[in-house]
Chains A and B, each alone.
Chain A
Amino acid sequence: DAKTTQPPSMDCAEGRAANLPCNHSTISGNEYVYWYRQIHSQGPQYIIHGLKNNETNEMASLIITEDRKSSTLILPHATLRDTAVYYCIANNAGNMLTFGGGTRLMVKP
C-alpha cells in the first residue's frame, strides 16, 4: 500500500467545515483512498472511500486531486462529537488496511 502523510493534529470551530488533508504521492492506479475515524477507545468507524472521483455521503465529502496524489476529507458542519483521530489509508482491493498515525481533530465550541 502507498504511504500516506497527514498532519498530526488540527483544530476546528464547532459548526464550521473541517478540512482534513492527506498526501499519497506514491498511490498506484488500483488503490482506493479510505477514511476511517476513531473516537477515543472505540473501534475505527468507516467514513468514506473513493478511487478517482469525488465522493459524498451522509457523513462527509472526499475530494481527490486529478493526479490522485492528495485528497481532502470534508466534514461540512463539525460538531463536538466529530472530535477523533482520522486515518487516511491508500488501499487496493486485495490487501489489509495499513493505519498510520492519523490526524487528531479537536472540534472546539
Chain B
Amino acid sequence: ETGVTQSPTHLIKTRGQQVTLRCSSQSGHNTVSWYQQALGQGPQFIFQYYREEENGRGNFPPRFSGLQFPNYSSELNVNALELDDSALYLCASSLAGWETQYFGPGTRLLVL
C-alpha cells in the first residue's frame, strides 16, 4: 500500500462526454504525476503537478487537463472523450518534483 488513492475505480462514458478523475497523494508528498496505460502497453506520462503548477507534460492533446489543490490532491480532466481514451489512468505521488514516484491503484475508464 502506497497511501495514494484514486477515485472512481471504474467508469463508463460515451464518446464526446467529459470525465474527471481524482487522486489523493501520499501524506507529505507535494507532487502528482498522471499516466495513461492502454491495454497491453506500459504507462505513458500525461503531466505532472508540483505545488499546484504544471511541471511537465507528455505528448497528449490539450483536452487532457489537470489541477492540483492546496492539499496536493489532483484531478485529471478529459474533454471530448474518444474511444482510444479507454485505458487505466494512474496517478503517482512523489515527495518533491521528480523524486521516486509511488503509484495509486488506477481508474479504469471505458469509452463507448
Contact = CB atoms under 8 A, between A and B. Distances in A.
Interface of A: 34, 36, 41-46, 49, 87, 92-102
Given A96-B58, A98-B45, A99-B44, A46 B101 contact: yes
Given A45-B103, A46-B100, A96 B48 contact: yes
A96 B103 contact: no
Contacts of B92: 43-44, 97
14 contacts: A36-B103, A41-B88, A43-B92, A43-B103, A43-B106, A44-B43, A46-B103, A93-B99, A95-B56, A96-B33, A96-B48, A99-B43, A99-B44, A101-B42
A24 to B, nearest CB: 16
B66 interface: no
B98 A94 contact: yes
B81 interface: no
Contacts of A95: 56, 98
Interface size class of B (residues with CB under 8 A): 20 to 34
Contact of A42 (B44, B45, B98, B106): B106
A55 B104 CA distance: 25
A43 B3 CA distance: 12
B48 A87 contact: no
B100 A49 contact: yes
B90 interface: yes
A19 to B, nearest CB: 21
Contact of B42 (A34, A93, A102): A102
Interface string B25-67: 0000000010100000011110010000000101000000000
Given A43-B2, A44-B90, 5 more contacts: A43-B90, A43-B104, A43-B106, A49-B100, A97-B33
B42 A100 contact: yes
